[in-house]
Chains A and B, each alone.
Chain A
Amino acid sequence: MIQMIRNFTSLTTTLTKGPPLYFGWILFLLMLVIIGANTYMEQFNDGLIVTAMRDQVSWGFYIANFTFLVGVAAAAVLLVIPAYLYNFKPIKEIVLFGEMLAVSAILMCLLFVTVDLGRPLVGWHILPLIGKMNFPSSLLAWDVIVLNGYLMINLTVVLYVLHRLSIGKEYKMSIMWPIIIISIPWALSIHTVTAFLYNGLSSRPFWNASIVAPRFIASALCSGPALMILIFQVLRKVSKVEITDRAIFKIAELIAYCMGVNLFLLGAELFKEFYSGSVHLAPMQYLFFGLHHHNTLVPFMWTSLIFNSTAFFLFLTTRTRHNFFALNIACLLIIAGVYLEKGMGLVIPGFIPGTLGEIYEYLPSRAELLISLGVWAFGALFFTLFVKFALPIYTGEKRFTK
């Protein structure tokens, strides 16, 4: 342990060396983080009134981003299963980067929840022992546990594997196996619990549908891995890491299946709501066609639907899947499509129409956009530095002797 800390500390110097592009990227992200932090101070002083949220729509852009990112974090499991359970070599070599992405995504999730709090200074009230955590009654308490647990699991795996690599050894399966076995259901649990957070509220018919959790998982397994495909291509351009086309194509194939399931579940949901046409149709009506002449989200939802279906066919067809131009377009489409669907498209219609029938149309304010951009930039910065730190060990440039 001490040896690991000493070795890793000495490696931090690699963070200060790199081509101009690296420093440009870091500076760019830092700038966004500073702008975000500055805007957050404004929100901290004046209150959440600087957002566009109000009593009628009491959760908005922050919680939408949080929900999307839980999906990204959970998606690491799509690499973990073929890598460790099926010993699929091409993916086994890159699974570590998926886990690093999961760690970064969870950090962003925690930040998004924190910036959404009205009284962040007393946020410790939610913790067990020192606070008064409402466990097991509140699903938010469950979320605190599963998200932090997932963060710990992934951080442990990444640091342990890197440590073994850095002293020129393979990881011990006796240590890794139990962690992997826990991490697979745990990854599914973070997204299930987050879905249940909405799902359990009988006051909001749009969320109170059993299909919410399965759809959460299906869509998460599209957007997260798509993001990874893009990152892997950047990674093999700017570093000596070898990532085979085979690994990328395998991930793309898995995305196709998941999007197929997601679209099927969406179809099942749309059928039930529109065919039965009860009063609970209202939020769905609002999303896709507008309600009583209110239609702010309509263009976003159709965009999302078109993006997701187009991407589905691009991923499904072997010819387009194996063509990097088409593949990258498909990845961008699916990330944007799921971002709209699982973000604003999930959170906002829960509140429209409101419980007393009121319609308050919501779009994020300037402050919400800047603060969210800052959180994203922080996540990207953390991921970049984490990868930069791991690369010399990964490629074998750096080895420590006992």
Chain B
Amino acid sequence: MNINRRSFLKGTAAGLAAIGLPVSKSHASFWESFFQKHYREMTDNEKDEVVKRLEVEYSAKYGKNFDVATTKPIDGALFGYGLDLSRCIGCRRCVYACTAENNQSRDPQIHYISVLRFKQGEKWVNDLEGSDKYYDPETVPEEGHFYMPVQCQQCENPPCVKVCPTQATWKDPDGIIVVDYNWCIGCRYCMAACPYGARKFNWGEPYLPENEINSQTHYLGNRPRLKGCVEKCTFCVQRTRLGKYPACVEICPVGARKFGDLNDPASEIRYCIEKKRVFRLKEDLNTLPKFYYFFAT
């Protein structure tokens, strides 16, 4: 089977030599990635093969050994997130911890978390036009302002998944919306559909400095991305499926960020939902986010 596939690839490569597409031996992985199947249609063996190819590719590119995991969702878990708006000081440490953890391109710059700043007493929640995400003071928090970080809300009813024409994005059983970067064709329909500005596109070739790379990756999470594909926050799927907190939760200096299993009655997130007055962003759209905002004090 394997030999057949390889000789098939070789034949195709020879045929395409005439039109100047990559054919040399060093480009073999180009064709393997070109014919790569949809992640959810791969057998475990096929996943291993792909992962091995990617690890070699990334190691060669970044001069570092890479791990690309395919860890499955934890049985019975459904992840939820809480954000205490009364604590958030708008320091954006979460934004940069996220970038360091998730290997987003540094140039062009991609951030998963947008921290919105509002003037106290002005419109917010349903009219975000008064928000400023490019605020840049000497120190935070600023007098007369408050902050609302927004990232992927991991909707139970995700509009982005509904519109994707190739099924390149889907909701895994633990409630996380993931993207198969290799299957995404870059049509950006999901970006038009997302009500939270959570989806980001690689407009150029992603650039990552070698000394800032996180080599512990997941196929559906923080592995290096491709030019022209869409990506998004996965609640750090590479960490949470191993029982760790997302990077943004861990870094938050004021403890504004809570995370846990919605199906576990003893979890921190369940405590917040049951004891605090929570709300979700744009509830009128019925996207059913698993991201809860609340005021603890």
Residues of A bordering B, CB below 8 Å: 46-49, 51, 53-56, 58-59, 113, 116-123, 125-126, 131-134, 137-141, 144, 197-198, 200-204, 279, 282, 291-292, 350-351, 353-359
Q: Which of B167, B202, B230 contacts A132 (CB 8 A)?
A: B167
Q: Which of B108, B128, B205, B228 contacts A357 (CB 8 A)?
A: B128
* Closest chain A residue, CB of each to CB of B286: A202
Q: Which of A49, A203, A292 contacts B192 (CB 8 A)?
A: A203
CA A149 to CA B140, docked complex, whole Å? 58
Query: With a CB–CB cut-off of 8 A, which chain A residues contact B182?
Result: 122
Q: Is B47 an interface residue (CB 8 A)?
A: no
List 28 contacting pairs A-B, 8 Å CB cutoff, sorted by A.
Answer: A46-B204, A46-B205, A47-B205, A48-B203, A51-B203, A53-B203, A58-B192, A116-B187, A118-B227, A119-B229, A121-B34, A122-B183, A122-B185, A125-B38, A134-B164, A140-B187, A202-B195, A202-B285, A202-B286, A203-B159, A203-B285, A204-B192, A291-B129, A292-B129, A355-B194, A356-B128, A356-B150, A357-B127
Q: With contacts A47-B204, A140-B165 known, is A279 near B126, CB below 8 A?
A: yes
* Closest chain B residue, CB of each to CB of A356: B197
The A-contacting residues of B in range 40-72, CB under 8 angstroms, are 41
A142 to chain B, nearest CB (A): 9
Query: With a CB–CB cut-off of 8 A, which chain A residues contact B276?
Result: none
Q: Is B295 an interface residue (CB 8 A)?
A: no
Q: Contact string, B14-36, partner A, CB cutoff 8 A, digits 1/0?
A: 00000000000000000000100
Query: With a CB–CB cut-off of 8 A, which chain B residues contact A353?
Result: 128-129
Query: With a CB–CB cut-off of 8 A, which chain B residues contact A126?
Result: 165-166, 185, 187
Q: Is B130 an interface residue (CB 8 A)?
A: yes
Query: With a CB–CB cut-off of 8 A, which chain B residues contact A118?
Result: 184-188, 201-202, 227-230
The A-contacting residues of B in range 196-252, CB under 8 angstroms, are 196-197, 199-205, 226-230
Contact A354 B229 (CB under 8 A): no
Query: With a CB–CB cut-off of 8 A, which chain B residues contact A202?
Result: 159, 195, 285-286
Residues of B bordering A, CB below 8 Å: 34, 38, 41, 108, 114, 116, 126-131, 133, 150, 159, 162-168, 182-189, 191-197, 199-205, 226-230, 285-286
Interface of B is mostly: loop
Query: With a CB–CB cut-off of 8 A, which chain B residues contact A54?
Result: 203
Query: With a CB–CB cut-off of 8 A, which chain A residues contact B185?
Result: 117-120, 122-123, 125-126
New A-B contacts (9) at CB < 8 Å, excluding given A47-B227, A119-B184, A357-B129: A48-B201, A55-B191, A119-B185, A119-B228, A125-B166, A125-B168, A279-B129, A354-B197, A356-B133
CA A132 to CA B130, docked complex, whole Å? 41
CA A304 to CA B217, docked complex, whole Å? 51
Q: With contacts A47-B227, A201-B192, A356-B131 known, is A55 near B159, CB below 8 A?
A: no
Q: Which of B159, B182, B192, B227 has the most CB of A within 10 A?
A: B192
Query: With a CB–CB cut-off of 8 A, which chain A residues contact B165?
Result: 126, 133-134, 138, 140-141, 144
CA A202 to CA B157, docked complex, whole Å? 12
Contact B116 A117 (CB under 8 A): no
CA A123 to CA B34, docked complex, whole Å? 10
* Closest chain B residue, CB of each to CB of A359: B129
Contact B166 A355 (CB under 8 A): no
* Closest chain A residue, CB of each to CB of B285: A202
Query: With a CB–CB cut-off of 8 A, which chain B residues contact A116?
Result: 187-188
Query: With a CB–CB cut-off of 8 A, which chain B residues contact A58?
Result: 188, 191-192, 201
Query: With a CB–CB cut-off of 8 A, which chain A residues contact B163?
Result: 137-140, 200-201
Query: With a CB–CB cut-off of 8 A, which chain A residues contact B166?
Result: 125-126, 131-134
Q: Which of A59, A131, A139, A356 contacts B116 (CB 8 A)?
A: A356
Query: With a CB–CB cut-off of 8 A, which chain B residues contact A122?
Result: 34, 182-183, 185
